[in-house]
Amino acid sequence: INHIVHNGGLYKRPFNEAFEETPMLVAVLTYVGYGVLTLFGYLRDFMRQWKIEKCQNATEREEQKDFVPLYQDFENFYNRNLYMRIRDSWNRPICSVPGAKVDMMERVSHDYNWTFTYTGRVIKDIINMGSYNYLGFAQKTGACQEAAAKVLSQYGAGVCSTRQEMGNLDKHEELEKLVARFLGVESAMAYGMGFATNSMNIPALVGKGCLILSDELNHASLVLGARLSGATIRIFKHNNMQSLEKLLKDAIVHGQPRTRRPWKKILILVEGIYSMEGSIVRLPEVIALKKKYKSYLYLDEAHSIGALGPTGRGVVEYFGLNPEDVDVMMGTFTKSFGAAGGYIGGKKELIDYLRTYSHSAVYATSMSPPVVEQIITSVKCIMGEDGTTVGRARVQQLAENTRYFRRRLKEMGFIIYGNEDSPVVPLMLYMPAKIGAFGREMLKRNIGVVVVGFPATPIIESRARFCLSAAHTKEMLDTALKEINEVGDLLQLKYSRRRLVPLLDRPFDETTYEETED
């Protein structure tokens, strides 16, 4: 069902998000599939235990056999019996720049994926629909690469010290000023790893006696940061504003659970684009709620910075909002900027506080200089400050690619999750056997896709995820679409029975998103 929401003027443009419900027959068949696999898993474990079948995974040392076992047998059941069968869809080694087309090292397995050998051959020019290369800055030639090469020869590759000791280079200061300008905030700070940005700064901002309201489908780094902080965590349903408002009301009215004392602070953790669902956060409503209930907002724009908005400034620009309304704007440089690391932007007091008390500033090595230079050049390119319109063109190309690709896939009859404008496109597969089959069939046709299953997604909702890039030309997309169509027919993936019903000004029901009208 398509929700086209014009919620009291908060949204300046239609917000088109859809999560079609799993067809009943498909759900049943998926459970049956998992059941069969589990039965076979038990059978194989039994045969391995009784030495009828050779046990091929690594084992404990002889001298340590009487130590407490390191892994529970059951923990690894899924790993041994289900994951091993389709393991070749992941960890595929590549040997070229991860751009729109990529070269992959061919690997074969003679013992059903327990070990791999490299044949030495390289499969060339695979269309890359798996790398997070939204604006196409993963290049081995061009202005960014030349600038990075110059800085590498001048500064070297490493830094060997932390930010607070001797690791704060002039390059870092330059980067931070530029990022602050790009985002439209007062000041910013950059860190060496996006995951660590979340897990080391959330504990610095909140502690015991504070409340964290986190979305159901938040990334592992946000969950880890929230847990390490020691604050109380409450989870609201994915992108569901009623659920969030209820939690906020309850929190302020009732206070802390046992003592009834008021909370010190409330922090809402959301992401710009959720990478497994392809959905975009309902930012105007979140900001309205935040202002009404006096809480703070932490926005993780890992996937949305550079990918949304007419000039690539992220989800805040996409909705036409004021960046100062978001208290903590966090993002990563890995996806749209072709580098590595993360940043946090916000008011000057916030960033000064983080410079003093962030775990990363005190104990972790600062960013490598050529990586910093790559970010500086790519940000300047997106902003148009390098004198060309390349940046602007890329952002527009990405938006066009997204709309085109999504429209075509929906026309073909696949179930696609997520918002119409999000460059992350999940295509539902559901059944465990199709996960492996889809990955392998697409590779045979020279297209590299990413498939995900349990535990990154709920057990019956495994999917293939396409990440579009400004570097994909229309021809590449057409080739990919043709192959996806073929494989879709071969594997019977065209589940969609959707009928378009626009719902105007409908309050979002808390229990389900979906409604079908027959």
Partner 1 sequence: QEKEELIEEWQPEPLVPPVPKDHPALNYNIVSGPPTHIITVNGKECINFASFNFLGLLNNEKVKSAAQSSLKKYGVGTCGPRGFYGTFDVHLELEERLAKFMRTEEAIIYSYGFATIASAIPAYSKRGDIVFVDEAACFAIQKGLQASRSNIKLFKHNDMADLERLLKEQETEDQKNPRKARVTRRFIVVEGLYMNTGDTCPLPELIKLKYKYKVRIFLEESLSFGVLGEHGRGITEHFGINIDDIDLISANMENSLASIGGFCCGRSFIIDHQRLSGQGYCFSASLPPLLAAAAIEALNIMEDNPDIFQTLRAKCERIHKALQGISGLKVVGESFSPALHLQLEESCGSRENDVKLLKRVVDYCMNSGIALTQARYLEKEEKCLPPPSIRVVITVEQTEQELDKAASLLKEAAQSVLN
Residues numbered 211 to 250 that lie near partner 1 (CB under 8 A) are 219-221, 224, 227-228, 249
Q: How far is the CB of 275 from partner 1 (least distance, A)?
A: 10
Residues 140/145/151/155 CA torsion (nearest 10 deg): -30
Q: How far is the CB of 498 from partner 1 (least distance, A)?
A: 28
Q: Which stretch binds partner 1 (CB under 8 A): 42-50, 178-186, 367-375, 497-505?
A: 367-375
Q: Please list, residue by residue across 249-262, b when 16 or more beta carbons sit within 10 angstroms of its beta carbon and e when fewer do.
A: eebeeeebeeeeee
User: Residue 73 phi/psi, 5° resolution?
Assistant: -60, -40
- Asked if residue 376 binds partner 1 (CB under 8 A), the reply is no
Q: Nearer Cβ to partner 1, position 239 or 334? A: 334
Q: Provide Rg for the chain, Cα atoms.
A: 24
Q: How far is the CB of 125 from partner 1 (least distance, A)?
A: 14
Total number of residues shown for the chain = 518
482's torsion region: left (phi>0), alpha (psi -120 to 50) or beta? alpha
Q: Which stretch binds partner 1 (CB under 8 A): 29-37, 353-361, 410-418, 489-497?
A: 353-361
- Asked if residue 54 binds partner 1 (CB under 8 A), the reply is no
- Find the binding residues for partner 1 in span 432-451 (CB under 8 A): 448, 450
Cβ-Cβ contacts under 8 Å for 461 (sequence gap 6 or more):
22, 428, 430
Total binding residues toward partner 1, as defined by CB under 8 A: 121
Nearest alpha carbon to residue 268 among 206, 176, 333: 206
- Asked if residue 164 binds partner 1 (CB under 8 A), the reply is yes
User: Residue 80 phi/psi, 5° resolution?
Assistant: -65, -45
- In whole angstroms, what separates CA 420 from the centre of its chain? 17
- Asked if residue 362 binds partner 1 (CB under 8 A), the reply is yes
Nearest alpha carbon to residue 147 among 124, 168, 166, 175: 175
Q: How far is the CB of 180 from partner 1 (least distance, A)?
A: 16
Nearest alpha carbon to residue 268 among 288, 304, 245, 296: 296
How far apart, in whole angstroms, are the C-alpha atoms of residue 42 and residue 57?
Answer: 16
How far apart, in whole angstroms, are the C-alpha atoms of residue 269 and residue 254?
Answer: 21
Strand partners for 117: 108
Q: Nearer Cβ to partner 1, position 1 or 82? A: 82
Q: Nearer Cβ to partner 1, position 337 or 414? A: 337
Q: How far is the CB of 513 from partner 1 (least distance, A)?
A: 26
Out of 10, 27, 29, 94, name the contact with partner 1 by CB under 8 A: 94
- Asked if residue 91 binds partner 1 (CB under 8 A), the reply is yes
Out of 67, 120, 322, 517, name the contact with partner 1 by CB under 8 A: 67
- Find the binding residues for partner 1 in span 270-329 (CB under 8 A): 292-296, 327-328
- Asked if residue 349 binds partner 1 (CB under 8 A), the reply is yes
Q: Which stretch binds partner 1 (CB under 8 A): 3-11, 305-313, 335-343, 396-404?
A: 335-343
Q: Nearer Cβ to partner 1, position 263 or 508? A: 263
Out of 213, 247, 350, 476, name the contact with partner 1 by CB under 8 A: 350
- Strand 447-448 vs strand 117-128: parallel, antiparallel, or unpaired? parallel
Q: Nearer Cβ to partner 1, position 344 or 487? A: 344
- Asked if residue 167 binds partner 1 (CB under 8 A), the reply is yes
- Find the binding residues for partner 1 in span 183-212 (CB under 8 A): 192-196, 199-200, 205
- 33 three-state secondary structure: helix
Nearest alpha carbon to residue 202 among 342, 325, 340: 342
- Find the binding residues for partner 1 in span 250-269 (CB under 8 A): 252-253, 262-266
- Asked if residue 390 binds partner 1 (CB under 8 A), the reply is no
Contacts 24+ apart (CB under 8 A), 484-489: 484/409, 484/412, 484/414, 484/427, 484/442, 484/447, 485/412, 486/445, 487/438, 487/441, 487/442, 487/445, 488/412, 488/413, 488/414
Q: Nearer Cβ to partner 1, position 49 or 154? A: 154
- Asked if residue 466 binds partner 1 (CB under 8 A), the reply is no
Peptide bond into 455 cis (omega under 30): yes
Q: How far is the CB of 325 from partner 1 (least distance, A)?
A: 13
- Asked if residue 340 binds partner 1 (CB under 8 A), the reply is yes
- Asked if residue 501 binds partner 1 (CB under 8 A), the reply is no
Out of 154, 388, 492, 516, name the contact with partner 1 by CB under 8 A: 154
Out of 4, 11, 27, 98, name the contact with partner 1 by CB under 8 A: 98
Q: Nearer Cβ to partner 1, position 30 or 377? A: 377
The H or E element containing residue 92 is none
